[in-house]
Chain A
């Protein structure tokens, strides 16, 4: 088999894998977003219908620590986590990109900003998130600005690093010479070139947000009404792992399904760009 045939086969395998990953990501997103509409078909997620950790039940997934159907909870448990993670990712990108571009343009004049962002890096993210979350009245969506704030040092440096070389390019200079203001030139010339890095970091931010929010819920800091259900299910049903493993393992599987295919897809995307 010559090199060309091997390369073609590798490319075809890569494309097939990408398609599979896209399908997986779309499936889990649809499951999380539209699952609540199918809840009436499997039962009431808030009603005790059987003994704790009993088997059987809707889709044979059994019941949780309060005798509520696991399948129904699984269907409603992902939407808020997905939306919150997505909003966090978008907000994180917008603020990070804005900071990063300011740092790239103004450079030495942003010493104080860079210093403050560097100071944030030494604060342990998960611990601080838990403390602030607790003091913020344990609001579910308080995790969005908290997570955005703590990822700012990373995203701003990422975009500053990506944008700085582009500010020395001919096309950016041409825009300035032609009369575009700095913000306009950044939006029209620099951001389109950063499209793939933005997409890559958006995906990574979303995964980080899912993990951060799951940590907050999993550690049980939140009460039942103010937490994301999938990670809370893991924490609450851990004691009944031997009796009904589905109550613990299914939400873990759902969180993994939400993050890992997306992670690999982002890698595929980045690798294809490098080639």
Chain B
């Protein structure tokens, strides 16, 4: 009798020293099913998805139970699984991580990565590649294939990662937060592509997501996880109105930006016909971008994935050299590159990157990191000492407002959650003397509850420092920003 079960999990118990991560979980998934695992951060979704690949995250222990995929054991407590068996099983599983860039080897060009996975003779490989690229709307020219992963936009990396899965032809696909960090339009396009991918491969799908739209569109069954246990199993029936309205071709109505009327405003940041692009690409991605920011204003920069939002953020922060246009901060003209800025201008534009985990040195405590910021501020001339005291007081006030633990100073960054690190990154920029703050997708990768908490704290933060908020999330725009600009208008085609 043919076993129709692709996945069989029996009484899986995974825990660390302090808590249970997966709590006696049992689950059976039949061939062709599409399951969405939803739940708050820390409920065990990623741990479960890794268990399906035979991994137990370092630091966790598999106490009991096991996992079978394709009828064979891939993980079992008190039993050593043969490595060859695991490897053969994993070859039949395709996984797309939350950050698709992680699956792309940074030191190899795209063409090489894809050819490694394509099977068959050279001609068959070329054909498979052509079909995959056509379907994913990626350019199949030599210039594109010679690019390295860091030379692609986030959306292009995601599609290349999908192409890699397609070439491998897996029977089971695991998707971990496939729509994290995507604007609505790109999200819908991605969901269409993913549905088509699963249908083409006739694969079984497990998707981990906290996006209700993704769960609804990709799956026919939703499992809600909480504290490592399945709380509910809901069957989904796709309705007509659930079909995404955007087609795969990237055309769509361009939202007009808010009208600018800053004639009476003493602007802090004035951007005039900015041209911005990544340092290793010859052409700018964004051109002719102009806007002003007044004290206390919070402006959202929105746009599709690949529109150049992060490029603009990095260019304004000076990390990437400006290709054209002018930027004025408090009427002082900023040089194109950070290295050309005088010492007095450094730190005046604060930049909070998307990934909070890497924005703090992993081997230095937060107290030391913040201490350095305070020291820099005290080296500012005559008012240095008073400024240091003021800054210390401001730091204490912000720590209290941002609801951070009392013993934060002695902790290393890996002892904080993503949300806490984002808050600390914002505080660091504010006490560092930033006159303007750029927040680059600070809520992507956070679950809804954490995101809402962060937005609430930012909304109540009483500071005259204007903020430029790069986001695709309409909730962020609605809750935090009093104006927005759509970058699609300024993208170079």
Interface contacts (Cβ under 8 Å), in number, total 61
A179 and B58 alpha carbons, distance in the complex (Å): 37
**Docked-complex contact B358 and A169, CB < 8 angstroms:** yes
Residues of B within 8 A of A171 (CB): 358-362
**Docked-complex contact B363 and A188, CB < 8 angstroms:** no
A173 and B314 alpha carbons, distance in the complex (Å): 10
Least Cβ distance of A224 to chain B in Å? Answer: 48
A179 and B346 alpha carbons, distance in the complex (Å): 5
Residues of B within 8 A of A7 (CB): 61
A126 and B363 alpha carbons, distance in the complex (Å): 39
Q: Does A4 contact B (CB under 8 A)?
A: yes
Residues of A within 8 A of B432 (CB): 178
Residues of A within 8 A of B62 (CB): 3
Least Cβ distance of B468 to chain A in Å? Answer: 14
Residues of B within 8 A of A173 (CB): 319, 351, 353, 359
Least Cβ distance of B128 to chain A in Å? Answer: 32
Q: Does B143 contact A (CB under 8 A)?
A: no
Q: Which of A58-66, A189-197, A212-220, A262-270 contacts B (4 or more CB under 8 A)?
A: A189-197
Q: C-beta contact mask, A63-85 vs B, less than 8 Å → 1, else 0?
A: 00000000000000000000000
Q: Does A2 contact B (CB under 8 A)?
A: yes
Q: Does B63 contact A (CB under 8 A)?
A: yes
Instruction: Say which residue of A2, A178, A275 sits within 8 Å of B346 (CB atoms).
Output: A178
Q: Does B350 contact A (CB under 8 A)?
A: yes
Chain B stretch 175-228: residues in CB contact (< 8 A) with chain A: none
Smallest CB-CB separation from B78: which chain A residue?
Answer: A2
Known: A176-B319, A177-B347, A192-B363. A3 touches B77 (CB 8 A): yes
Chain B stretch 30-87: residues in CB contact (< 8 A) with chain A: 58, 61-63, 77-78
**Docked-complex contact A176 and B338, CB < 8 angstroms:** yes
**Docked-complex contact B319 and A192, CB < 8 angstroms:** no
Least Cβ distance of B68 to chain A in Å? Answer: 18
Least Cβ distance of B16 to chain A in Å? Answer: 11
Q: Does B453 contact A (CB under 8 A)?
A: no
Q: Does A137 contact B (CB under 8 A)?
A: no
Chain A stretch 142-197: residues in CB contact (< 8 A) with chain B: 169-171, 173-174, 176-180, 188-189, 192-193, 195
Chain B stretch 425-462: residues in CB contact (< 8 A) with chain A: 428, 432
Q: Does B355 contact A (CB under 8 A)?
A: yes
Least Cβ distance of A21 to chain B in Å? Answer: 24
Least Cβ distance of B470 to chain A in Å? Answer: 15
Least Cβ distance of B315 to chain A in Å? Answer: 13
Residues of B within 8 A of A3 (CB): 61-62, 77-78
**Docked-complex contact A195 and B363, CB < 8 angstroms:** yes
Chain A residues within 8 Å of chain B by Cβ, number: 20
**Docked-complex contact A177 and B317, CB < 8 angstroms:** yes
Smallest CB-CB separation from A171: which chain B residue?
Answer: B361
**Docked-complex contact A178 and B376, CB < 8 angstroms:** yes
Smallest CB-CB separation from A188: which chain B residue?
Answer: B372
**Docked-complex contact A170 and B372, CB < 8 angstroms:** no
Least Cβ distance of A157 to chain B in Å? Answer: 15
Residues of B within 8 A of A170 (CB): 353, 355-356, 358-360
A3 and B62 alpha carbons, distance in the complex (Å): 8
A179 and B343 alpha carbons, distance in the complex (Å): 6
A195 and B319 alpha carbons, distance in the complex (Å): 27
Q: Does B364 contact A (CB under 8 A)?
A: yes
A170 and B363 alpha carbons, distance in the complex (Å): 14
Residues of A within 8 A of B61 (CB): 3-4, 7
Residue of A7, A170, A173, A189 with highest tally of chain B CB at under 10 A: A170
A177 and B373 alpha carbons, distance in the complex (Å): 11
Q: Does B100 contact A (CB under 8 A)?
A: no
Q: Does B318 contact A (CB under 8 A)?
A: yes
Residues of A within 8 A of B353 (CB): 170, 173
10 further interface pairs, Cβ-Cβ under 8 Å (given A3-B77, A177-B347) = A3-B78, A170-B355, A171-B358, A171-B360, A171-B361, A171-B362, A173-B359, A178-B372, A188-B372, A193-B362
Going nearest first, the 7 A-B pairs with the smallest beta carbon separation are A179-B346, A170-B359, A170-B358, A171-B361, A178-B347, A179-B347, A170-B353
Q: List 28 A-B contacts (CB under 8 A).
A: A2-B77, A2-B78, A3-B62, A4-B61, A7-B61, A170-B358, A171-B358, A171-B359, A171-B360, A171-B361, A171-B362, A173-B359, A176-B319, A177-B338, A177-B346, A177-B347, A178-B372, A178-B376, A179-B376, A180-B376, A188-B372, A189-B361, A192-B361, A192-B364, A193-B362, A193-B363, A195-B363, A275-B58
